[in-house]
Amino acid sequence: MNFYFEASEVLNRLDAKEGSIKGILATLPENNRARTTALVIETLKYKSVLSDVIQASKLLTEEKKKITSFNLALVLVHDTLLVNGIQAGDGPIKQAILRHKTRLRSELQRIKIKRGVKSNLELAQTSDDRAAKIPRYVRVNTSMWSTEEAMQFYTKRGFQLQGPFASSKGFEIDEHIPDLLAFNPALQFRDDPSYKTGKIILQDKASCFSAFVLSPPCNDPNAVVIDATAAPGNKTSHLSALMGNKGKLYAFERDKRRFSTLKMMLSKAACRNVEAVNADFLTIDPSHPKYSLATHILLDPSCSGSGIVNRLDYLLEDEVEVVDEDRLNKLAAFQLMIIKHAMKFPRVQRIVYSTCSIHASENEHVVSRALQSDEAKSGSFKLAPRNDVLPKWNRRGQAEGMIGTGDADSLVRCSPGEDGTNGFFVSCFVREPNFVLPQAEPSKKRKADTEEAALEKRKKKPKKKVKTE
């Protein structure tokens, strides 16, 4: 029952305006956070109808000793009516709800008839039009499952290949990203066994572009790839799957708490070729014997997040995003720094820089400045041409934001809602073809071995006779 108390406490704190939904949920203990979050969000979506049901059923007046608050009633009635019942052992609170179950059900039915809806899904509050246009994307984690297996699994459960908007059971295979499926936006997968076991990753389509455009070597035991800003790890697990779980993928994350989330996610997704490193990427020496071998680097740094269509925003009317120029400038300076640092890695061939921002100041402007930097010039970096960066994707970079450098057609933009995705930006830097890779530095150990061997050789060599007259 603690789970319900925790969720109702979150609702109490929201009512008391103690913070944003995201902020309050982030303070929950990690072990139960995902489960409580799902219950809170789902309850909020149906809050209006659940409130009407509770009022009409007189549940609170008749059971006030057991069900001590309206928010506790909300979460309990949510699970009783909209999922498979209360997930807790028998006790006085559960008994109180069960005594009213028939009445609660008939009140719900009455509301459905009144509103002319057939399914419970239609009762959910979806006032953000953009969110309703973004399918629920499911990336099949090919380290554990194949797309064929996934399709069989879902079709057996009644889903049909008819597009995500045809019905609540419709889905399709995405046309741009392999192994990505698109379902109805109202669907939740958090209780789905395929999600719980790591076989699927819930990841927006646009967010899948970064790893796909980076296109790391596949099934190459010698591949070395870096994900510089990794947590929570969606793109890391995507990279790992694209690499066929072979070679080495170093995933850096500077924040300790987010690093533990990253580790958990990587183990759930069976990423065997990833070494997670709790460090600031900017402090990593590009000539480090291990990391200097990286040929592909993914940069998906902190950004304003202005492209994210917050599925939660509309649930609390007063959560309004404020774009702060000063913050944007600071973010852009950091984003530029991280690109320039990646360009210092001697063997890197391909760098993808992406953000979930819609602001040119974090996107085209940063890319232009990076192209003009000394690091780009000495490393012979340019933008990869359009035909190498999702050529069939129509929305490209904003030419006016390029400040005279680089071709905006090389860049990918996604407009929130309009493109069936969140807002997103992707760029890809590659070396000019005439750039000569430096010879691989022998690692310290190898160098020491060779020096030792040379010494041995010298010792064994017969000493030249000193000529005596």
> Where on the chain is the footprint of ligand SAM (CB under 6 A)?
207, 229-235, 252-255, 258, 280-282, 300-302
Our CB check for ligand SAM shows the closer of 62 and 280 to be 280
Give whole-number Cα distances, 80 to 59, 67, 94, 108, 243, in Å: 13, 14, 10, 11, 44
Helices (H) then strands (E): counts for the chain: 18, 13
Our CB check for ligand SAM shows the closer of 8 and 310 to be 310
Q: Are 216 and 225 in contact (CB under 8 A)?
A: yes
Our CB check for ligand SAM shows the closer of 234 and 295 to be 234
Our CB check for ligand SAM shows the closer of 280 and 407 to be 280
- Cα Rg for the chain, rounded, in angstroms? 27
| Nearest-approach distance from CB 319 to ligand SAM, in angstroms | 20
| Nearest-approach distance from CB 336 to ligand SAM, in angstroms | 12
- Which run of H or of E encompasses 370? helix 364-372
Name residue 354's beta-bridge partners. 426
- For the stretch 96-102, contacts whose Cβ atoms lie closer than 8 Å and that sit 24 or more positions apart, written own/partner, are 96/59, 96/63, 96/66, 96/67, 97/59, 97/63, 97/67, 99/63, 100/57, 100/59, 100/62, 100/63
| Nearest-approach distance from CB 294 to ligand SAM, in angstroms | 15
| Joined tokens for residue 251 | 């995933």
Catalytic residue among 208, 271, 303, 356: 356
| Nearest-approach distance from CB 194 to ligand SAM, in angstroms | 19
Q: Are 415 and 423 in contact (CB under 8 A)?
A: yes
| Nearest-approach distance from CB 254 to ligand SAM, in angstroms | 4
Q: Is 356 considered catalytic here?
A: yes
- Which run of H or of E encompasses 105? helix 101-115
Our CB check for ligand SAM shows the closer of 14 and 231 to be 231
Q: Which residues are catalytic?
A: 356
